[in-house]
């Protein structure tokens, strides 16, 4: 984000402070208020009242921005030790605050029972709290990644009272929704959901989860919309930052979504995103998103997973394009490189430049071979 000149200008410009008053509501109709304010929604059968705009405490969170979010009434914070010192830094911000006023979600990368139980104890220690509100299994994109002993461990975490509710985070809800519903242990799913393909490819799975009472937390809600040079648009928005704002409003327009967890680095960015809770999604927002979507079409993978298994050399195309997006759309080179270097050696060594023609025809217009060549040159 910060390496984009247009974005920098927006971040430096600042915006008027929103009203700090809170409105408690679970209905979308109540969201249409005159001034920016928090609107709470119910997170599935957990019954938790969560702010529609939550906060993704990613790598290197900015403590002043996180503290300001708490002061504004944002009450859902997503973290993980997989994001470096994320938990520890967040612990410093919440120290001395009333723990009942906000919800914490964090995650285990483990598969074995004893490791998951140990991970939770470590997270509680790092966070300086004696319970978390949501305890996730991190990045589980197939049921095989959730063995029976992991399910048992999650049940035990809940029974111990150290985790109020349990969930999984995944990038493809289509592959995980039925599993989650049938397992009858998980209370929430955190998954990718954003304009516009996120809706088209994911709405059926999201609705299924909603009908089963499973709360849905939308992540990666503005990744595609933050790194753009808005000056390149034919019809640029009146104010930079309105792309992400429109993107979050679009996500919140779906009543099945409990909350969103955008990563926010500056106060103006926080305040712009905050508005999404109390502003209506308008035809102008929709137009803006369509324009931006066309601009990013060749470069941004919509994570529809239509090309899964299509590469004869076994490349996990969707994952690799996502890693590249961390750099190209968010300016997070180290995160992109760490993910790429976590791939099996034989996958890292494949070079798309060796193929005379790519086997993948992306229905969304992504230039797959060119993008993967860039990922291999930049991140290997």
Give the residues lining the site for ligand SF4 (CB under 6 A): 301-307, 311-313, 315, 317-318, 321, 350, 352, 355, 358-360, 362-364, 366, 368-369, 372
Residues 6 or more apart in contact with residue 6 via CB below 8 angstroms: 228, 229, 230, 231, 240
Of 330 and 362, CB closest to ligand SF4: 362
User: Burial code of 363-377, b = ≥16 C-beta within 10 A, e = fewer?
Assistant: ebebebbebbbbbbe
| Sign of the torsion angle spanned by Cα atoms 120, 125, 130, 134 | negative
CB 210, min distance to ligand SF4, A: 24
CB 312, min distance to ligand SF4, A: 6
Of 146 and 372, CB closest to ligand SF4: 372
- Token code pair at residue 64: 């002043």
Assess contact for 42 and 27: CB atoms under 8 A. Answer: no
CB 318, min distance to ligand SF4, A: 4
CB 299, min distance to ligand SF4, A: 11
CA 273 to CA 288: how far, in whole Å?
16
CB 320, min distance to ligand SF4, A: 8
CB 260, min distance to ligand SF4, A: 21
| Sign of the torsion angle spanned by Cα atoms 293, 251, 29, 272 | negative
CB 298, min distance to ligand SF4, A: 10
CB 325, min distance to ligand SF4, A: 10
CB 145, min distance to ligand SF4, A: 19
CA 88 to CA 70: how far, in whole Å?
17
Alpha helices in the chain (DSSP H): 5-13, 63-72, 86-94, 113-127, 148-159, 173-183, 197-211, 223-226, 242-252, 267-274, 283-296, 317-328, 333-341, 345-348, 368-379
Of 29 and 312, CB closest to ligand SF4: 312
Of 212 and 347, CB closest to ligand SF4: 347
CB 302, min distance to ligand SF4, A: 4
| Sign of the torsion angle spanned by Cα atoms 306, 312, 314, 316 | negative
Of 38 and 228, CB closest to ligand SF4: 228
Assess contact for 264 and 55: CB atoms under 8 A. Answer: yes
Of 118 and 297, CB closest to ligand SF4: 297
Of 305 and 333, CB closest to ligand SF4: 305
- Token code pair at residue 174: 């289509």
Of 7 and 302, CB closest to ligand SF4: 302
The burial class, CB within 10 Å (0-12 / 13-18 / 19+), for 34 is exposed
Of 65 and 358, CB closest to ligand SF4: 358
Query: DSSP string of 45-63?
Result: GG--EEESB-EE--SS--H
Of 129 and 364, CB closest to ligand SF4: 364
Q: Please tell me what DSSP assigns to residue 17.
A: P
């Amino acid at each position: 984000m910060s390496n984009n000149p247009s974005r920098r200008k927006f971040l430096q410009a600042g915006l008027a402070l929103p009203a700090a008053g809170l409105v408690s509501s679970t209905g979308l109709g109540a969201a249409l208020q005159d001034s920016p304010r928090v609107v709470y929604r119910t997170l599935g059968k957990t019954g938790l009242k969560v702010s529609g705009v939550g906060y993704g405490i990613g790598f290197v969170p900015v403590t002043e921005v996180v503290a300001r979010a708490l002061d504004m009434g944002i009450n859902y914070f997503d973290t993980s030790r997989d994001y470096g010192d994320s938990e520890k830094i967040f612990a410093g911000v919440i120290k001395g605050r009333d723990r009942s006023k906000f919800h914490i979600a964090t995650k285990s990368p483990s598969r074995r029972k004893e490791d998951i139980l140990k991970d939770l104890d470590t997270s509680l220690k790092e966070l300086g709290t004696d319970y978390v509100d949501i305890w996730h299994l991190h990045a589980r994109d197939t049921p095989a990644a959730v063995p029976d002993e992991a399910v048992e461990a999650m049940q035990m975490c809940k029974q111990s009272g150290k985790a109020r509710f349990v969930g999984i985070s995944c990038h493809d809800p289509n592959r995980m929704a039925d599993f989650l519903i049938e397992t009858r242990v998980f209370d929430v799913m955190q998954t990718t959901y954003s304009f516009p393909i996120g809706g088209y490819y994911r709405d059926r799975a999201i609705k299924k989860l909603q009908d089963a009472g499973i709360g849905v937390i939308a992540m990666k809600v503005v990744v595609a919309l933050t790194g753009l040079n808005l000056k390149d648009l034919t019809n640029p928005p009146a104010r930079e930052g309105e792309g992400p704002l429109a993107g979050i409003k679009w996500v919140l327009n779906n009543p099945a979504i409990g909350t969103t967890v955008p990563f926010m680095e500056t106060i103006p960015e926080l305040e712009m995103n905050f508005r999404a809770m109390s502003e209506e999604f308008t035809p102008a927002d929709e137009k803006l998103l369509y324009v931006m979507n066309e601009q990013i079409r060749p470069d941004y993978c919509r994570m529809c997973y239509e090309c899964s298994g299509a590469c004869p050399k076994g490349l996990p195309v969707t994952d690799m394009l996502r890693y590249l997006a961390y750099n190209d759309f968010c300016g997070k080179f180290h995160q992109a490189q760490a993910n790429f270097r976590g791939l099996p050696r034989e996958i890292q060594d494949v070079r798309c430049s060796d193929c005379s023609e790519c086997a993948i025809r992306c229905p969304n217009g992504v230039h797959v071979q060119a993008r993967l060549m860039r990922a291999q040159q930049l991140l290997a």
